[in-house]
Structure 1
Amino acid sequence: MKHLDINQIKEIIPHRHPFLLLDAIEDYEPGEYAVGYKCVTYREDFFAGHFPQEPVMPGVLTVEALAQTGAVAILSLPENKGKTAYFGAINKCKFKGKVVPGDKLRLETRIIKKKGPVGIGEASASVDGKVVVQAELTFMVN
């Protein structure tokens, strides 16, 4: 298994605080897949307004975390060094559970199709083995 810490992740993808939504990559294969984690804490800025009475991580940020995980897989290819992976589409997205402070969000994105600079990733986020988000993410590398 190939592990990446936060500094190594920052060498691959351009995201930075407060929008870097990965804490570690547990395993990855360039151009194929990546498995990462986000440790969700109450100190996340978005919890101040989403929702003050019941803090829940916005689903769109979970999707973004999945996209960043896929970006690690695709941008770790030598030919993509220094490039950015942009969203092309979000399809078949299903929200199946909440993500709250204290959760360790497991993020897995597998690249299932590539043609030139465009590709599709099959993505799944889970907490304690329970899937909370699934989606098909289309990306464009530039």
Structure 2
Amino acid sequence: MLEHADIKRILPHRHPILQVDRVLELDPGNRIVATKAVTGAEPCYVGLPAEAPASAYAYPVSLLVESLGQAGGILWLHTAAQRAEPVTGTLIFGSARDLTLTGHAYPGDVLRHVVHLELVKGDNAFMRGETWVGDTRIATVGEILAVLRQDTTLVPA
């Protein structure tokens, strides 16, 4: 199991975009199970009026997929570190394909991401994953691409 402090040592992300709270299971090179608690204090809910319907509090799909991708990033970077493979550069979420959304998460829910590492080719990692709330699968992603890019190849802001 990895706690939040361990995750912060692996991922460069920080509040408010760090979207993984804990790693429950980690099988390097293969699979990770990670969680993210959704709270009503999330920045995505700021400004919602008191009379907003309950559906307005559905956790945004973009953040759900980002959280799933970060879990995959932890799996990839932790695996590389265990194998003493040099990993340098900026971790970038490349893409998500074959997304199927079958439910929603709301404040008070805990997302449970299950991500499988399919292939690492150079500075690219290909993964697939699912997100669950309790016993209900709410999302599947057939392919997630994460990439590492050297800072010198990124365009300055």
- Alignment partners' CA distance in 2, 1:65 and 1:6: 14
What amino acid sits opposite 2:112 in the alignment?
R
Higher Rg of the two aligned structures: 2
Q: Which residue of 1 aligns with 2:9?
A: 11
**Secondary structure of 1:71 counterpart:** helix
Looking at structure 1, the residues matched to 124 and 47 of structure 2 have their Cα atoms a distance apart, in angstroms, of 35
Cα shift readout 1:31-60 (whole Å, capped 9, x = no counterpart): 322110011111111123578432111011
Match of 1:134 among 140, 144, 147: 140
| Paired position in structure 2 for 1:21 | 19
**Matched residue, 1:94:** 100
The TM-score with structure 2 as length reference comes to 0.82
Identity of aligned residues (%): 29
* 2:59 counterpart (39, 51, 57): 57
Q: TM-score, normalised by structure 1?
A: 0.90
1:74-85 matched pairs, under 5 angstroms: 74-76=76-78, 77-78=80-81, 79-81=85-87, 83-85=89-91
Shift of the 70–50 alpha-carbon distance from structure 1 to 2, 3 Å rule, reads: farther
The answer to whether residue 127 in structure 2 is matched with residue 121 in structure 1 is yes
The CA distance in 2 between the partners of 1:81 and 1:27, in whole Å, is 22
Give 1:23's aligned amino acid: D
State the Cα deviation string for residues 4-36 of structure 1 (Å, max 9, x = none): 000000000101000011110001123322110
Distance 1:112 1:36, change over 3 A: same
- Name which of structure 1's ranges 59-68 and 31-40 shifts more when overlaid on structure 2: 31-40
The alpha-carbon deviation at position 98 of structure 1 amounts to 0.8
Cα gap change, 1:20 to 1:127, in 2 (>3 Å): same
Number of residue pairs aligned between Structure 1 and Structure 2: 140
Asked if 1 retains the 8 angstrom alpha-carbon contact of 2:118 and 2:126, the reply is: yes
